[in-house]
Structure 1
Amino acid sequence: MQTKIIGTVLPVLEIELASGEAVVGVPEQLSWITGGVTLHTSVAAAGGGGLFGLVSRAVSGAGIVMTEMRAENGPGMVGFAAHLPGEIIEIDVGHGAYMVHRHGFLCGTSGIVVSSALQQNLGAGVFGGDGFVLQKIAGEGKAFVELGGEIVKYDLQAGQSIHVHPGHVGLFDEQVSFEITAMRGVRSTFFATGDFFMAKLTGPGRVWLQTLTAPGLAHTISHYLPKQG
């Protein structure tokens, strides 16, 4: 399996598969295929876990069904284009799991397991009716994650903390402690409750922060869209 990330602002991940090799991902993430690659959509790919596993993946934003892209009829290639300006990064999963923002998982090898790690309602203005959700990427193999805007990495020492707006939490090691804290009485256009929420990340472990979020982008351009009525 050979991987290549093309572009900078709106990157594309291309994976060349030798005969018999496969990757799994959300069907909506697939952009193009070539050669002898065939698609097999299944509720069992990338997670299993019975009914709970299906519900967990649906809540996390990964979807109930996953698609296996296998080079059955000779070698081929699959492409995954980014949905927002940002970066696509590769992570090795095996000795520990990773937490990623709701729509971060792009695809992975067949040993990857995707589930819901955390769901909390922080205010409809920023995250919609589903609230704040994290995906958990576990299992064994390689996974590819899409993060928005520029990526800022921090290696936190044991006991060292950083407070981050939840929307800018991109990816972090499983051993990093995660806690949502409310700053009372701080008004924000994003939150209907009157509270301002921050995510407290405490080491040890690495965190990847993203500078662009889909809700933030939508809020910025909403002022320029035609008003109904």
Structure 2
Amino acid sequence: MPEFRILGSDIQHLLVTLGPGERIYAEGGHLIWKSSTARLNATVRGGLLAGLKRALTGASFFVLEVEGPGQVDLAGFAPGKIVEIELHGSSILAEHRSFLAAEDIVEYDASLVGLGFGWLGGEGLLMARFRGNGRVFLHAVGDALELRLGSGEAIDAEAGHVLAFEEGVRATVRRVGGLKTMLFGEEGLWFAHLEGPGRVWLRTLSRGQILMGLMPELARLARSV
């Protein structure tokens, strides 16, 4: 069985040790280094239809398959935390750009979500779907939070902070509040409304917040050129 180690603090990476013939798959572009004995292969995970659905989410048509023996080290595209999710015959829906790696026995395709939620969350109509038995590793920009919602329990979250949720969780959209709150609250017009039972994973930074934080620096850099 592959050995996974999450290393680092504020900028985490995932070190995977593979025995002979053991395999994992990962989203392309996240590889830092690998043992020379570990073999790489671009493959269409789950067949042509699954690959097409992944491509519609903005993820890659192909995934990167890594076969041991050897080690491979993977990281996200921005500072953040790696979230390990173990599936026991269950499934999760995840923000497509958060996927890092998964065990070979986990199925990976995409699934339709509600029009309002998917569009406001930046996902379009499809989100990445992982199901089966095994471990999935996601990358959360900033820090990561895990909430367990009981039956009928619900939260409202800014859509860009939603990392993943179990497929049994009901995901819809809800207006932030009154007109003044919508205009001056600086939280956008809508929240993602997530209702249990099930687990929800959030990230403390959205990509929009990162871009807004960089805007003054980018503007000064442009003026200096």
Shorter-chain TM-score above 0.5: yes
1:148-159, aligned counterparts within 5 Å?
148-159=141-152
SS of the aligned residue for 1:96 comes to strand
Task: Determine the structure 2 residue equivalent to 1:56.
Answer: 53
Deviations 1:66-109 (A, max 9, x none): 111112xxx20011013222211222223210121221110111
Check conservation: 1:60, 1:115, Cα contact below 8 A. no
Whether 1:202 and 2:198 are equivalent positions in the alignment is no
Whether 1:31 and 2:32 are equivalent positions in the alignment is yes
SS of the aligned residue for 2:90 comes to coil
User: C-alpha distance in 2, partners of 1:111/1:88?
Assistant: 20
Greater mean deviation of Cα atoms: 9-18 or 113-122: 113-122
1:147 aligned residue (140, 148, 152) = 140
2:183 aligned residue (170, 182, 187) = 187
Check conservation: 1:182, 1:196, Cα contact below 8 A. yes
Deviations 1:134-179 (A, max 9, x none): 3211133221111121222221110011000001111221111111
How far the C-alpha of 1:214 sits from its partner, in A, is 1.8
Unmatched segments (≥5 aa) in structure 2: none
Change (3 A) 1:155 1:2: same
Identity between Structure 1 and Structure 2 (%): 26
Change (3 A) 1:189 1:69: farther
Task: Determine the structure 2 residue equivalent to 1:5.
Answer: 6
TM-score normalized by the length of structure 2: 0.85
1:96 aligned residue (83, 90, 101) = 90
The amino acid that maps onto 1:41 is A
1:136 aligned residue (129, 151, 155) = 129
Over the aligned positions, Cα root-mean-square deviation in angstroms equals 2.5
- Alignment size in residue pairs: 214
Greater mean deviation of Cα atoms: 110-119 or 92-101: 110-119
SS of the aligned residue for 2:55 comes to helix
Whether 1:172 and 2:165 are equivalent positions in the alignment is yes
Check conservation: 1:116, 1:134, Cα contact below 8 A. yes
SS of the aligned residue for 1:62 comes to coil
Check conservation: 1:151, 1:208, Cα contact below 8 A. yes
How far the C-alpha of 1:189 sits from its partner, in A, is 9.9
Greater helix proportion: 2
Task: Determine the structure 2 residue equivalent to 1:19.
Answer: 20
Task: Determine the structure 2 residue equivalent to 1:70.
Answer: 67
